[in-house]
Structure 1
Amino acid sequence: MDRRIFLKLLASSVITTPILTACGGGSNRGPASSGGDDVVPGTQTTPGAFVHGVASGDPLSDRVILWAHLSPEESDLSEAVVRCQLSDDPSFSNLLIDELLATGPERDFTVKYDAAGLLADKHYWYRFIAGETVSTVGRTRTLPAAGESADRLRFAVCSCSSYPHGYFSVYRMMANRSDLDFIMHLGDYIYEYEQDGYGDHADRLLDPAHEIIVLDDYRRRYALYRKDPDLQAAHAIHPFINVWDDHESADNSWKDGASNHNDGEGEWPARKAQAIQAYFEWIPIRPPTLDQTSIYRSFEYGDLASFMMLDTRLEGREEQLAIPIDPSRAQPRDLLGQTQKDWFKNKLATAQGQWKFVGQQVMFAQLQILELERLLPAEFPTSQFSPLIAINMDQWDGYAVEREEILNFIEDEAIDNVVVLTGDIHTSWANEVYKSSTLISNLTTEPLAAEFVTPSITSPGFPDGAAELAAALLPVVNPHMKYIELKTKGFILMDVTAERTQAEYYYAEDISTADMIGVESDTVKTVAVYDGSSRMTLDTPISTPRS
């Protein structure tokens, strides 16, 4: 199929055009209520026609994406109409938007509406209506206008939710924090594996039970996840900013394939296109256009923060190297692709925000285990790269020349306050970022950026014993790594002021039982970087919630 025709079909299948404008512009484990002055989004039972809850995402200063899924009573229904309402009060006494939206099987009965004409830095409430059924109520928030004064920003960072590995306690923990501006999800929102292919919690069965490969499979897997009340609660109370990682398509994916795409599973371009279509249907992300086909995009939070969201998976990545000492590692290899890399550099150089946040999928800092300078091939340029053996070629370590190019650009352009936010590896890290991670450079040079890596929602880390040992040994050859925790599930709360950016690592007490849903561990780790320097300070005071 012609690329532009495919994109036009994709865009039309994931954004809903209004067909009528009605007016201008206990355990508490249910998603939200359907109305009333005492509505608390994320706390009540979901009506039957909207069993997958509601969601919002991609907030800007004047608009936000609103999302719902309709479960029609008739399985062969070809079209349905859903009303979308938005108000500036939770009782909906002052409707600002009241739109009739058409949906159908071509978009899996999802509805997605780009609610424009909103005021900056303001909470809004929204709901959907089908016939006499009213959805749960969602709450969302717009961002401060670019360049306008903003004193403080608080947002959560999370990734990696494997359904069979346990309950989504971490989503509930984020839902319980009412003062977050948004949740940043860095990918692996779903996993493609078959039942017992990756985790086997007896009470968390997959649908479908086989590995998901075609469009209907991906849709069913998203539908399963979105029935989870704790994930629904997080979506109902906070807007999301999402990017995909590999498991939204297949494990260790790159632009032309994936390690988990095997013979007998069809052509990769078809699987990739269907995975992307389901993602745009089910995730509250602004849809692609004919001019911009990717998920890399930017956000501005007043004058305080600029956000650059990258795609290190499907946009431009070349296939991963098989071994760390492959001489090809010293050659230019694409992780971002030239177009995205040019866009990224331009955004870094022109960012209006005091802090420059880079939301992306795989670890940016070097993760290495052993100095083997004398054993490396003669053609390996040890003068340019640290003579250490990297652990994971799926990370930026496998694309070292491109990382060096980005860091050279940051240094040459004197760009400060760069903070990289990372998911993917199910564990907690706080890294100072250097062009070389040798001990000498850490003692004599300033880091060029800071990196905070979020633990997973449920996906497994290291087992007991091995986690503690590895966390103790890795900093010996990776002295730029200032905090490592390798087994506990949780998220990072980023608290940002003009003075500093602080990462607070919050952990779930237990994800193995529903009795512990939303219960936090007493263990909290804080790491801060201060304006003008990426040197990390550990164990700073926990920030108080914003009033």
Structure 2
Amino acid sequence: MDSKRRVVIQALGAGGTLALAGCGGGSSSSVATNNSSTPTPTPNLPEEQPETAAPKVSFVHGVASGDPLSDRVILWTRVTPEQEGDIPVRLTVAADQAMSQPVAVYTTTASAAGDYCVKIDADGLQADRWYYYQFAVGDQTSPVGRTRTFPASSDFMDRARFAVVSCANYPFGFFSVYRAVAERSDLDFVVHLGDYLYEYGPGEYGDFPERDPLPPQEMVSLADYRARHAQYKTDEDLQAVHQQFPMIAVWDDHESTDNSYRDGAENHQPLTEGDWQTRKAVSQQAYFEWLPIRPREPGNFSVIYRQFQFGDLIDLTMLDTRLEGRDEQLTVPLDPARNSEDRHLISAEQMDFLLGSLTRSTAHWRFIGQQVMFGQLNIAELPALTEDQAQLRSNLSAINMDQWDGYAADRLKILNHIDDNHIDNVVVLTGDIHTSWASEIYRNPSTLLGDLFDKPLAAEFVTPAVTSPGFPDGAAELAGILIPVANPHIRYVEAKSRGFILVDVTRARAQAEFYYVQSIESYDLRGQIDNSKTKVVAVNSGDSRIIEDGPVSRPRTLRTAFNHPPLPLNAVTGKEVLS
């Protein structure tokens, strides 16, 4: 970093350093601290030297933030230069939307090596605070973004609100769901459970007018993956979500290619598309470049499982059930090999990470964010001869071998760990299947005289898709009726509508509100909710049984939101009323 640059700090900002997690290269400088209540310049700064004219650039891909911790958050943008070359970039973090109360200012470099992406890990921030940020090249500036830090793990928290999304295929229609999320101004963060983008070429999976994917072929090379990420980041509704909230994201299969696993993919042909490990690696590199993700270590784009703590209320463990440790999927639904203890969905290292996180957690709620459906999905149940057979074999008629049903021993290990260690308040968040589900999690839920009369070990909420299709009309309605009959642990199924889950968490309960948009085909209806379809389910603290059809949660006021309406005034004091 240019030694002429210095940092301005104020009390709402930092107490340490600003560290760079560079997708575009560069390095960070030391940061002076100041704990006064008003902005104060760092003393004895050398005079700024004249600068050469800044390169001509644009910020067409917006801004984003992610992976919030109690003292830091990843800030992201992409610089589009008129000419190739290294681009000096300045970032300002402030306490206000007008950027008039700067917390820190520092510089880095965007370069072709990182596809001109810039990722800065801004640390030294105060816990449980909203911040604003803006990138600049000379006098050319990005939009202002809004982000927040999480409360410290020891902080008592009585509430959290966040949205859960997945499966956004550009050629299927407008990102109306993202617009609806962006307009929920009282969220703390957004969880994205994968299929952030899709790999297919034009007409291969969706053909909505004027939304053909770029490049105009299936993405295989690093240049292909970068170009597809760039196209997605030009969508105004996706930009609005990133601009408003920090995102915690994991990949699923389509960020690389369909039905991928550790050593291959159904939609990868080595004879025409090259080496799988090379393709997987470049897809992961592009993902880390274009998403506000904190790498486990610099340059390591293969490990994405990680943990977050929202005060003492929530521990959120994010898994990689797709690329890190998954064995190849079975092709026959009734294949008994799915129960083999030698088949794994996640590696031994990731399993130890998950089980250790659950055991060590002191939070009130333990959320697990992951890609594929955790609970059993069956068409019929075959009787078990012994309890051990019931637990391991569970339901041989499971129909989707891509989800945890195809790796039953790994699931059983997790459930046994939860039960043996008396771990309460576990909620699994899932994406992938373009449909909505709420389930109670048992070892063997279809044994009607067994587990279903015991307390569930966990609950699972599966989010609908942003645009990717679910069941067709008729079949969707039939599935909603018949699936719970063969699966009494599944309390809610909606199999076709696009939407998201709003999760409202208190000390007393974790509530999932399924919201569905009116249309993904009408530009003018973007963000409009079909209130007739809204579904509310919840689990109470200490009991993972699903409770249906309660009232929606009360929105809360956040004065930091970009689109927040005027606040009401107290009739006595004349001041704004906060909730």
Question: Scaled by the length of structure 2, what TM-score is found?
Answer: 0.85
Aligned match of 1:352: 362
Question: 1:218 deviation in Å?
Answer: 0.2
Match of 1:305 among 304, 314, 318: 314
Q: Is the 8 Å Cα contact of residues 17 and 113 (structure 1) preserved in structure 2?
A: no
Q: Is the 8 Å Cα contact of residues 254 and 313 (structure 1) preserved in structure 2?
A: yes
Question: 1:442 deviation in Å?
Answer: 4.9
Question: 1:425 deviation in Å?
Answer: 0.3
Q: 1:514-525 counterparts in 2 under 5 A?
A: 514-522=523-531, 523-525=533-535
1:408 aligns with 2:416: yes
CA distance in 2, matches of 1:21, 1:84: 15
AA of the residue aligned to 1:395: Q
Question: 1:93 deviation in Å?
Answer: 1.4
AA of the residue aligned to 1:194: G
Q: Is the 8 Å Cα contact of residues 367 and 478 (structure 1) preserved in structure 2?
A: yes
Q: Is the 8 Å Cα contact of residues 22 and 99 (structure 1) preserved in structure 2?
A: no
CA distance in 2, matches of 1:381, 1:480: 19
CA RMSD, Structure 1 to Structure 2 (Å): 2.0
1:137 aligns with 2:144: yes
Question: 1:15 deviation in Å?
Answer: 6.2
Q: Is the 8 Å Cα contact of residues 24 and 97 (structure 1) preserved in structure 2?
A: no
Aligned match of 1:268: 276
CA distance in 2, matches of 1:383, 1:529: 24
Question: 1:352 deviation in Å?
Answer: 2.0
AA of the residue aligned to 1:353: A
Question: 1:304 deviation in Å?
Answer: 0.6
Aligned match of 2:550: 540
AA of the residue aligned to 1:540: G
CA distance in 2, matches of 1:191, 1:415: 37
CA distance in 1, matches of 2:318, 2:324: 12
AA of the residue aligned to 2:115: D
Q: Is the 8 Å Cα contact of residues 367 and 397 (structure 1) preserved in structure 2?
A: yes
CA distance in 2, matches of 1:140, 1:384: 44
Q: Is the 8 Å Cα contact of residues 392 and 412 (structure 2) preserved in structure 1?
A: no
Q: Is the 8 Å Cα contact of residues 57 and 79 (structure 2) preserved in structure 1?
A: no
Question: 1:92 deviation in Å?
Answer: 1.3
CA distance 1:237–1:290, shift in 2 (3 Å): closer
Question: 1:16 deviation in Å?
Answer: 4.3
Match of 1:189 among 196, 204, 219: 196
Q: Is the 8 Å Cα contact of residues 194 and 249 (structure 2) preserved in structure 1?
A: yes
CA distance 1:353–1:19, shift in 2 (3 Å): closer
Q: Is the 8 Å Cα contact of residues 23 and 96 (structure 1) preserved in structure 2?
A: no
CA distance in 2, matches of 1:306, 1:428: 23
Question: 1:371 deviation in Å?
Answer: 3.2
Aligned match of 1:457: 466
CA distance 1:19–1:436, shift in 2 (3 Å): closer
Q: Secondary structure at the match of 1:515?
A: helix
Question: 1:203 deviation in Å?
Answer: 2.2
AA of the residue aligned to 2:499: G
CA distance in 1, matches of 2:30, 2:145: 21
Unpaired stretches in structure 1, ≥5 consecutive residues:
1-10, 26-46
CA distance 1:48–1:465, shift in 2 (3 Å): farther
Q: Is the 8 Å Cα contact of residues 467 and 485 (structure 1) preserved in structure 2?
A: yes
CA distance in 1, matches of 2:98, 2:324: 43
Cα deviations by residue, 1:393-450 (Å, 9 ceiling, x for unpaired): 0000000011011100000000000000000000000000000021333542111000
Question: 1:189 deviation in Å?
Answer: 0.2
Q: Secondary structure at the match of 1:371?
A: coil
CA distance in 2, matches of 1:147, 1:529: 24
Q: Secondary structure at the match of 1:125?
A: strand
Aligned match of 2:489: 480
Q: 1:308-457 counterparts in 2 under 5 A?
A: 308-332=317-341, 333-372=343-382, 381=389, 384-438=392-446, 439-457=448-466
Match of 1:83 among 77, 85, 90: 90
CA distance in 1, matches of 2:115, 2:362: 39
AA of the residue aligned to 1:247: H
Q: Secondary structure at the match of 2:413?
A: helix
CA distance in 2, matches of 1:16, 1:410: 43
AA of the residue aligned to 1:514: Y
Question: 1:391 deviation in Å?
Answer: 1.1
CA distance 1:93–1:473, shift in 2 (3 Å): same
Cα deviations by residue, 1:301-346 (Å, 9 ceiling, x for unpaired): 1111101000001110000011122121121111111000011100
Q: How many residues get paired?
A: 511
CA distance 1:22–1:290, shift in 2 (3 Å): closer
Q: 1:239-278 counterparts in 2 under 5 A?
A: 239-262=246-269, 263-278=271-286
Q: 1:172-183 counterparts in 2 under 5 A?
A: 172-183=179-190
Question: 1:372 deviation in Å?
Answer: 4.5
86-95 or 429-438: which moved more?
Answer: 86-95
Question: 1:515 deviation in Å?
Answer: 1.5
CA distance in 2, matches of 1:296, 1:158: 18
CA distance in 1, matches of 2:214, 2:291: 18
Q: Is the 8 Å Cα contact of residues 24 and 112 (structure 2) preserved in structure 1?
A: no
AA of the residue aligned to 2:404: W
Aligned match of 2:16: none
CA distance in 1, matches of 2:103, 2:544: 43
Q: Secondary structure at the match of 2:550?
A: coil
Question: 1:58 deviation in Å?
Answer: 0.2
Aligned match of 2:540: 530
Match of 2:297 among 279, 283, 289: 289
CA distance in 2, matches of 1:305, 1:313: 24
CA distance in 1, matches of 2:179, 2:299: 37
AA of the residue aligned to 1:535: R
Q: Secondary structure at the match of 2:491?
A: strand
Question: 1:243 deviation in Å?
Answer: 0.4
Match of 2:515 among 506, 509, 518: 506
Q: Secondary structure at the match of 2:393?
A: coil
Q: 1:17-36 counterparts in 2 under 5 A?
A: 17-18=26-27
Q: Is the 8 Å Cα contact of residues 528 and 538 (structure 1) preserved in structure 2?
A: yes
Unpaired stretches in structure 2, ≥5 consecutive residues:
1-19, 35-55, 558-579
CA distance 1:290–1:92, shift in 2 (3 Å): closer
CA distance 1:247–1:387, shift in 2 (3 Å): closer
CA distance in 2, matches of 1:61, 1:484: 36
CA distance in 1, matches of 2:391, 2:66: 45
CA distance in 1, matches of 2:376, 2:434: 17
The higher radius of gyration belongs to: 2
Same amino acid, percent of matched pairs? 53
AA of the residue aligned to 2:552: I
Aligned match of 1:98: 105
CA distance in 1, matches of 2:272, 2:144: 44
Question: 1:270 deviation in Å?
Answer: 0.4
CA distance in 2, matches of 1:384, 1:273: 34
CA distance in 2, matches of 1:291, 1:127: 25
AA of the residue aligned to 1:50: F
1:490 aligns with 2:499: yes
CA distance 1:513–1:479, shift in 2 (3 Å): same
AA of the residue aligned to 1:393: M
